[in-house]
Structure 1
Amino acid sequence: MADHQDLVETGNDLIDLISDVAKDQELVTAAVKEKIKQDMEMKECVKQMLNDLSVSEQNLGQKLLDTEDKRAQQVEELESLNDQLRKLTKMSQNKDSDIEFLQRELEKLKSSEQEIQMLEQEVEEGTTEIIPEAQHTARLYHNITKIKWEFETQPNILKGVHYGELAIPINIDTSKVSPCEVSNQLWALISTE
């Protein structure tokens, strides 16, 4: 009878052990499900952060381009006012009031240009990974000269297109002409108006 009692107790212990294992398995399954849920939430959070970062980079890049466009417009206005000032000075020394007005406008534009340069510098410092300095410089030269260069040429060949009133191709062999002559040919393309 004692063997039977031991067998019953062992059976009960086994049933309790199996029950505990089942409970532990349920707890482990719940913990795994919770971990998977947390991982999915973390992935969504990281995905949203990356999307937000991408939008911020695009906005910052657009702000830089807009600042460059505004600066180019201010430079054109500044050049225009300089031209007007020279013409008025030649026409009459008696128009002091007009000249003073233009000088004030010129100072405002210079001040605006300095502000734009400061903004541009701040934006540049914040976007050195977005727009490399060489691209920025090339874009700035293109905005001023209206020349678009081809960079995949032989070392002694200058190739590009000047987009003035008409598109004029540029093809200069620098080994055959002096740097001064190259400069003169390029400056001849740029309008002084």
Structure 2
Amino acid sequence: MNTRILIILALIIAGIAGWFFQQQGKISPPVNIEASEVDYEATDIKAVQTNEQGETEYELNAESLTHNPVTNQDEMSGITMNWEPSDEQRYRIEAGSAAINQQTGELHLSGGFTLVSEDKVSENKTAATDIEPIQVTGQTLKGNTKSRQVYSNEPVKVVQGMNRFEASSMKANLETGEYEFGKVAVTFTPVERQNKALF
């Protein structure tokens, strides 16, 4: 075979290969990678927060957790929280979703919440008190785990034993168990009058 023919064939093959690779090398549109608003996430969360003395302050269960580095908040859904802010007080809180800032203690519950006070038997007492637990339900609840205060500026329903009422707002100090309610509305149904002889 002639050398010229081999050189011409080699140049034609190189030209075709160069054109092929040039066409394949173009990416349209270019890939754009943006920073995520989430730096970690998890499901089926079980967490325990302790105080300075190492005692359990609250236990938290959640269906899912996402940490947002921009707001530095843990955003959770389907939460149940057992909170013991003092030796005398214990509460159970359930909510559809929650956002907690671990540094500041800011807490925001939404998607409906239930706050229930529970009897706490101390080492000095052998039985729980006869005081009925207080149950507060509403749409949103805000507070702070460090100051142990919660509040809602939206309507709440309160049940304690046979007593029931509604309020336009609520504020509570969970450490002392003191509640404040705004614009309370109570429905009172007296017992039917019975005419009986006194003697």
- TM-score, normalising length from structure 2? 0.28
Higher-RCO chain (CA-CA 8 Å, sequence separation at least 6): 1
Q: Which has the higher helix share?
A: 1
- TM-score, normalising length from structure 1? 0.29
